[in-house]
Amino acid sequence: MLPRGRPRAMGAAVLLLLLLLVVGFFLFGRDPDCKRRSWAGEEGTLCDRCLLTPRVFSDGLGTTATLDEDPYRSRNLSASSPQLLLPPKCEMLHVAIVCAGYNSSREIITLTKSLLFYRKNPLHLHLITDAVARNILETLFRTWMVPAVVVSFYDAEELKPLVSWIPNKHYSGLYGLMKLVLPSILPPSLARVIVLDTDVTFSSDIVELWALFDHFSDKQVVGLVENQSDWYLGNLWKNHRPWPALGRGFNTGVILLWLDRLQQTGWEQMWKVTAKRELLTLMATSLADQDIFNAVIKEHPHLVHPLPCVWNVQLSDHTRAERCYLEAADLKVIHWNSPKKLRVKNKHAEFFRNLHLTFLGYDGKLLRRELFGCPNQFPPGAEQLQQALTQLDEEEPCFEFRQQQLTVHRVHITFLPHQPPPPQPHDVTLVAQLSMDRLQMLEALCRHWPGPMSLALYLTDEEAQQFLHFVETSPVLSMRKDVAYHVVYRDGPLYPVNQLRNVALAQALTPYVFLSDIDFLPAYSLYDYLRASIEQLELDSRRKTALVVPAFETLHYRFSFPNSKAELLTLLDAGSLHTFRYHEWPQGHSSTDYSRWREAQAPYSVQWSADYEPYVVVPRDCPRYDPRFVGFGWNKVAHIIELDAQEYEFLVLPEAFSIHLPHAPSLDISRFRSSPTYRNCLQALKEEFHQDLSRRYGSAALKYLTALQQARSRA
Amino acid sequence: MLPRGRPRAMGAAVLLLLLLLVVGFFLFGRDPDCKRRSWAGEEGTLCDRCLLTPRVFSDGLGTTATLDEDPYRSRNLSASSPQLLLPPKCEMLHVAIVCAGYNSSREIITLTKSLLFYRKNPLHLHLITDAVARNILETLFRTWMVPAVVVSFYDAEELKPLVSWIPNKHYSGLYGLMKLVLPSILPPSLARVIVLDTDVTFSSDIVELWALFDHFSDKQVVGLVENQSDWYLGNLWKNHRPWPALGRGFNTGVILLWLDRLQQTGWEQMWKVTAKRELLTLMATSLADQDIFNAVIKEHPHLVHPLPCVWNVQLSDHTRAERCYLEAADLKVIHWNSPKKLRVKNKHAEFFRNLHLTFLGYDGKLLRRELFGCPNQFPPGAEQLQQALTQLDEEEPCFEFRQQQLTVHRVHITFLPHQPPPPQPHDVTLVAQLSMDRLQMLEALCRHWPGPMSLALYLTDEEAQQFLHFVETSPVLSMRKDVAYHVVYRDGPLYPVNQLRNVALAQALTPYVFLSDIDFLPAYSLYDYLRASIEQLELDSRRKTALVVPAFETLHYRFSFPNSKAELLTLLDAGSLHTFRYHEWPQGHSSTDYSRWREAQAPYSVQWSADYEPYVVVPRDCPRYDPRFVGFGWNKVAHIIELDAQEYEFLVLPEAFSIHLPHAPSLDISRFRSSPTYRNCLQALKEEFHQDLSRRYGSAALKYLTALQQARSRA
């Protein structure tokens, strides 16, 4: 046994040490980085908050964190672990992500939702994208309107020459390698950035990760979590020869990059030299940028700051991540770095999937949350919109309509991989919109219309996932790459039918569009016939013509579709088919003149009449639908009026037809039928629409108003 | 200016102080509560973790926190604020909630979801409930199967006499007052508990709130957040006379109760004496328990430990909570303490609503997450179930069927307020199931069936909210209190039709049930006719009789419903109506013998034949549906076989009928038609079902097997 005096002496020594630390804290404790870490463009303005933040003892982490002796592991890693000094609440954090293609664009949205859910700081996303991802993500972020989020795009195409000389076997292709060149292409004003793979999910506030920059020593330039598999140990199989790495190596799914220091250390030169040398013997990278990062670190170990394992829990096929998460009180970031993604086999796969599914199905509009007390956080238009919404009177009978009209829906265009149609002068895209309860129409529609389609789907985030599953498991749908699906996310009680139509219409890529509805099946020959007709009639997009496709309906939900006009007429005569809504709403299609159509051999011109709402083929640049019509009623009628007012000629095609299939009435129709308020609100919308018409077309619009007044006096 | 020596002297004094703190830390820093704070029943086993938790300086908060000078406010209140010493990760935390009635039962589930989302500790919920809430919540928590959650129920009925002597004007009625008696009724072994109102939402980990017990001084027994309105200042209107309170008073939506200390200080005596005295002049409480808590605290201010305002952000009608949340980096708990709840007017209402809606629509099954490294966390059956699921072979063609059969769905019985039917010996409940796409059937069904109904709805959490809105805005549905809606939460790709039927059947409260389907409308007279028939036939629940209601169908979705059998027969003869599935599946109803029914004046007996699936009225204790049949096909057929095997007599009623309305084919039917695998799996299910039948009924089951084999040889 040690003499009793020993512990006391040791205690005194410890006290002295602590005393020195305390003194050091008072002398040097003010954060020298404070100024640099404030909002870009507002240097120093928020600096006073740094002083309010309680300063605690740094735990001086500087040693290499390995899976076997992770210096973080033995500590309580919960959200309230006291090692962290957080930046001020309004400080902007920067995140860079490389994203290309349709599937990664879906992934990055789930990642972003998880990021935004926990974040309490403004975020600046730096997205390095190909043209496809940029198109999708620009629309998405513009319509998402999340406060305190800035998004910048960088063209991945321009980066390709910088990395295309590196042979790479990884499934991420050239895009994975682009992380290496970020220090050269991000704005020089950007001192630090967090780089993320698209396949990570946050389960905590990213500010805690950002705060780890403070733990970097002066020489450290890159923060990484150790690799949680044995890959770099080189013993996975016979003749497995991985790139050189320090021990298990590091994973580059989550990177803290100290950009200005990287520039100063000559990063670009450094990684290129290393890569070229290793490629002489290794021929190609297996894990893209990660191999090169590791080779550089092996050579310059002082560059890396090892991060706690919880910031990149790697669920690869042969993961050893369990050693990390079973001990930790808290997981921060999950990394689905198996090519199998969510289907990876793992004892705790269900647990991790649940975290991920949380954000997959999370209603993104709920993330439109402001950050209290932070300046300039609102995206363009958001404040005016908020104001307009606040000014609505909740007691007003048409409040729901007004609110729905003002709603900006998040829009995810080309939700699934899509092959744009080759440019052809007479090509026609079928345009329609639907919600979940019409999904079963899609297969039949694909069989009837072999051409391109642009469909807007009104879905919740969760339904969008069900839809994805539906398409993936349908042989008919998964084959078709010329159908573009655009998801408009649900918000509000009324179906925004015309906003949906406009989204689908705007995304049509052919010179002509067939404006249809989802519960109609076109004649099998219609696609070919329309293209031939456009060609024969010598239409071009300058000629204002609307080709009318006569509409019929069947009341039987099992029914054998006519293969020709002759067959259709037989069914019509037998009473198995009817002209569309003949019983309930004959004026909707009476101008089409079905009896003339029976006999017609050539296209014939018809005149507009009140309430006319035919299905038409028009040039893609036709007028948009009036978005004020939400819910049920008059949404197509208004569009046809607009076409007529702009002097489109209505030309009925003698061989064209389309048949409506029966379905239970939608909730909106049921409400329309049962609610006088609903009908009154629709009437008010019609009147406003006509006022606008008169304003725009003057006396030429008089005939529409007269028709409306006649209808009202009849009612 | 002060002489230069002064700051140095002050610095030295500060250093001395810190030194003393450091010494104190080393001498007394080991947590004396460590033992008591470990799992109940496992005293001390986890104590070693306390030592791993880094101990930091307590900030010694003990002063009164007022809205104007909240000692917490000037500090960074983010998740990583370093004041907190968290309990070990597997320590059990205790929460008590008073909950009564249908609406509060829905509220408490949203609260629980928010709690579980952020928690990382085992939780023990102590629920003080009336019979309605207990019935709902017992089923819900049993089927929810969340690991590391224990639920105990306490009968609110027994507590009523303890508080019913207090006149109270608050909308919470007697239930609000029950929080006062918790120290007397919770188990004596329970030292501390967090008490919550049902209308709070968590936005952080409750363990951080629990950790605040450590800040209590020796005398403090109750932790509360200051009231965030001017109510107790007594100047809201002329002659406004609130109960006495310390300044703005405290809000009791979130309470930290130190139970054993309360017992020791004679709490029961104390609040009763105070309440009786104040009631002499004030006549009644306005805010229930909160008035009495405040009056006691006014008299004994040393009892209260003021909590940081973020732990109870009160969104009452005239809230001043803004002063709290605009400065805080982080909100912990939101309290919807206006009677208007989510509809409260507030500049930032949208922000708070979004937080709340997050959990309202959150898929509760995603909270079935284990706590890594904590012992004994699995609820009964959960581990076996998990094992069975893991043993399924994902490559097996019928994997989806197997998985769906094993799935335990969360069940929320009587989701909406419900008035059970008065006991009547011949009463009949209509039993059916539906999902979102059949919601529009409900109003028509209510018009056709004026009696009690028990309906199972297969919904996501988000859809359940849409359903709630749908019922609330429908005059027809909101009037009907005899329709019980039971929500079964969606999980998996196949519709669990028979599990749904069993939920609805189990909740029927009348002696007889009419087993129907949602797309059928019964004859207007059916409810009365069935009751009369049951009485005339002198059925009782011991007589095994199944009354057959003949089924018809219309193919027109607008159609005028026949008012009598005569009218029905006319429509049948005119071809506007057909016997049900006459074209596609005649064997389903052929045994009913429609031609005999045309002429029948009295009930007649019919024999079972293969594939018979009539709609029947049977005693409530009839056999359950076989839950192995999921998706489309054979689900009713198997049930009718079961009735026949148990020797039920099938008796066709001559005046009864029910008509199927057309609808688009469901996704499940579409898949059945298009997928050979689907059909093969259904065949396999049928064969397993017959094996079970043979096991249970021996040679009596032979006829069913023969029928199956004949059908197979025909196919």
Return the percent helix, strand and coil in chain B, to nearest 5.
45, 15, 40
Beta bridge partners of A552: A579, A659
H/E element holding A549? strand A545-549
B393-426 tens-digit pLDDT: 888 889 989 999 999 999 999 999 999 999 999 9
Torsions phi, psi of B224, nearest 5? -145, 155
A543: left (phi over 0), alpha (psi -120 to 50) or beta: beta
The reported pLDDT for the residue numbered A679 is 85
Runs of H (alpha helix) within A332-410: 349-360, 382-391, 399-406
Chain A residues closer than 8 Å to B15 by CB:
19, 22-23, 26
Rounded to a whole number, what is the distance in Å from the CA of A354 to chain B's nearest CA?
A: 5
Question: With pLDDT > 90 as the criterion, what percentage of chain A qualifies?
Answer: 64
Q: Which domains does chain B have, with CATH numbers?
A: 93-368 (3.90.550.10), 411-708 (3.90.550.10)
Least confident of A60-69, A237-246, B93-102, B453-462: A60-69
Backbone Cα Rg of chain A: 31
Chain B residues closer than 8 Å to A308 by CB:
none
B269-278 tens-digit pLDDT: 999 999 999 9
A104-149 tens-digit pLDDT: 999 999 999 999 999 999 999 999 999 999 999 999 999 999 999 9
The reported pLDDT for the residue numbered A84 is 67
Cβ atoms within 10 Å, residue A414: 19
Whole-angstrom CA distances from A116 to A85, A97, A149, B79, B118 are: 21, 15, 9, 15, 16
Contact B667 A373 (CB under 8 A): no
Q: Among partner residues A83, A329, A663, which is closest to B663 by beta-carbon distance?
A: A663
Residues B505-513, mean pLDDT to the nearest whole number: 97
Q: Which of residues 673-702 of B touch A (CB under 8 A)?
A: 674
Closest B-chain CA to A322: B372
User: DSSP code of A286?
Assistant: S
The reported pLDDT for the residue numbered A17 is 52
| Contact present, B642 and B626 (Cβ < 8 Å) | yes
Question: With pLDDT > 90 as the criterion, what percentage of chain B qualifies?
Answer: 64
Contact B76 A665 (CB under 8 A): no
Q: Inform me whether the C-beta atom of residue A396 falls under 8 Å from chain B C-beta atoms.
A: no
Contact B469 A493 (CB under 8 A): yes
Least confident of A240-249, B287-296, B557-566: B557-566
Residues B543-557, mean pLDDT to the nearest whole number: 90
- Best probe of the A interface among B53, B76, B78, by most A CBs < 10 A, is B78
Contact A329 B89 (CB under 8 A): yes
Residues A57-83, mean pLDDT to the nearest whole number: 38
Q: Is A678 a residue whose pLDDT tops 50? A: yes
CA distance B20 to B525: 87
The reported pLDDT for the residue numbered A163 is 95
pLDDT band at B299 (very low <50, low <70, confident <90, very high): very high
| Contact present, B195 and B104 (Cβ < 8 Å) | no
A169-218 tens-digit pLDDT: 888 889 999 999 999 999 999 999 999 999 999 999 999 999 999 999 99
Q: Is A687 a residue whose pLDDT tops 50? A: yes
In terms of C-beta distances under 8 Å and separation of at least 24 residues, what long-range contacts does B212-219 make, across chains too? B212/B84, B212/B256, B212/B305, B212/B307, B212/B308, B212/B311, B213/B256, B213/B258, B214/B33, B214/B58, B214/B85, B215/B58, B215/B61, B215/B62, B215/B305, B216/B256, B216/B258, B216/B305, B217/B62, B217/B305, B219/B302, B219/B303
A431-467 tens-digit pLDDT: 999 999 899 899 999 999 999 999 999 999 999 999 9
A492-532 tens-digit pLDDT: 888 999 999 999 999 999 999 999 999 999 999 999 999 99
User: DSSP code of A600?
Assistant: -
Q: Is A714 a residue whose pLDDT tops 80? A: no
Q: Among partner residues B81, B351, B439, which is closest to A667 by beta-carbon distance?
A: B439
B475 or A20, higher pLDDT: B475
The reported pLDDT for the residue numbered B343 is 76
ipTM of the shown complex: 0.82
Residues B241-256, mean pLDDT to the nearest whole number: 95
Rounded to a whole number, what is the distance in Å from the CA of A364 to chain B's nearest CA?
A: 10
Residues A7-16, mean pLDDT to the nearest whole number: 51
Q: Is A638 a residue whose pLDDT tops 50? A: yes
Residues A11-31, mean pLDDT to the nearest whole number: 44
The reported pLDDT for the residue numbered B437 is 86
Contact B557 A351 (CB under 8 A): no
Residues A389-410, mean pLDDT to the nearest whole number: 90
B55: exposed, middle or buried (Cβ count in 10 Å: 0-12, 13-18, 19+): middle
Provide the token pair at A562: 């006519």
B312-356 tens-digit pLDDT: 999 987 888 888 988 887 889 999 988 777 777 777 888 888 999
Q: Which residue, among A256, A194, A222, A216, has the nearest Cα to A61 in the 3D structure?
A: A216
Cα atoms in the 13 Å half-sphere on the side-chain side of A41 = 3
Q: Inform me whether the C-beta atom of residue B22 falls under 8 Å from chain A C-beta atoms.
A: yes
B647-697 tens-digit pLDDT: 999 999 999 999 998 876 666 666 666 778 888 998 899 999 999 999 999
Chain B residues closer than 8 Å to A206 by CB:
none
**Mean pLDDT taken over chain B:** 86
Contact B440 A665 (CB under 8 A): yes
CA distance A642 to A624: 9
Q: Which of residues 645-664 of B touch A (CB under 8 A)?
A: 661-664
Q: Is A56 a residue whose pLDDT tops 90? A: no
Q: Is A79 a residue whose pLDDT tops 50? A: no
Residues B428-444, mean pLDDT to the nearest whole number: 94
Q: Is B98 a residue whose pLDDT tops 60? A: yes
SS (H, E, C) B30-75: CCCCCCCCCCCCCCCCCCHHHHHCCCCCCCCCCCCCCCCCCCCCCC
Contact B54 A441 (CB under 8 A): no
Residues B147-162, mean pLDDT to the nearest whole number: 96
Beta strands in A228-360 (DSSP E): 250-258, 304-307, 313-314, 333-335
A708 or B159, higher pLDDT: B159
Closest A-chain CA to B74: A52
Q: Which of residues 461-500 of B touch A (CB under 8 A)?
A: 462, 469-470, 493
Q: Is B52 a residue whose pLDDT tops 50? A: no
User: DSSP code of B422?
Assistant: P
The reported pLDDT for the residue numbered B376 is 84
**Mean pLDDT taken over chain A:** 86
Packing angle of the helix pair A289-299, A267-282 (nearest 10 deg): 110
Least confident of A258-262, B42-46, B167-171, B182-186: B42-46
Contact A443 B670 (CB under 8 A): yes
Q: Is A75 a residue whose pLDDT tops 70? A: no
Q: Is A38 a residue whose pLDDT tops 90? A: no
Contact A52 B556 (CB under 8 A): no
The reported pLDDT for the residue numbered B673 is 67
Q: Inform me whether the C-beta atom of residue B53 falls under 8 Å from chain A C-beta atoms.
A: yes
- A67-81, B193-207, B226-240, B379-393: range with highest mean pLDDT: B193-207
A221 or B5, higher pLDDT: A221
Residues B186-190, mean pLDDT to the nearest whole number: 96
Runs of H (alpha helix) within B145-228: 156-163, 173-177, 182-185, 206-210
Residues B359-363, mean pLDDT to the nearest whole number: 94
Rounded to a whole number, what is the distance in Å from the CA of A361 to chain B's nearest CA?
A: 9
Beta bridge partners of A95: A125, A194
The reported pLDDT for the residue numbered A338 is 82
Q: Among partner residues A54, A76, A440, which is closest to B667 by beta-carbon distance?
A: A440
pLDDT band at B557 (very low <50, low <70, confident <90, very high): low
Chain A residues closer than 8 Å to B355 by CB:
366, 369
Contacts of residue B665, Cβ cutoff 8 Å, sequence gap at least 6: A440, A557, B673
CA distance B264 to B270: 11
Q: Inform me whether the C-beta atom of residue B370 falls under 8 Å from chain A C-beta atoms.
A: yes
Contact B674 A443 (CB under 8 A): yes
Closest A-chain CA to B146: A351
Closest B-chain CA to A346: B390
Q: Which of residues 256-315 of B touch A (CB under 8 A)?
A: none
A153 or A70, higher pLDDT: A153
Q: Is A300 a residue whose pLDDT tops 60? A: yes
Chain A residues closer than 8 Å to B323 by CB:
none
Q: Inform me whether the C-beta atom of residue B560 falls under 8 Å from chain A C-beta atoms.
A: no
Q: Among partner residues A22, A365, A437, which is closest to B15 by beta-carbon distance?
A: A22
Chain B residues closer than 8 Å to A78 by CB:
86, 89, 120, 207
- Best probe of the B interface among A23, A80, A202, by most B CBs < 10 A, is A80
Q: Is B17 a residue whose pLDDT tops 60? A: no
- A546-560, A652-666, B492-506: range with highest mean pLDDT: B492-506
Question: With pLDDT > 70 as the criterion, what percentage of chain B qualifies?
Answer: 86
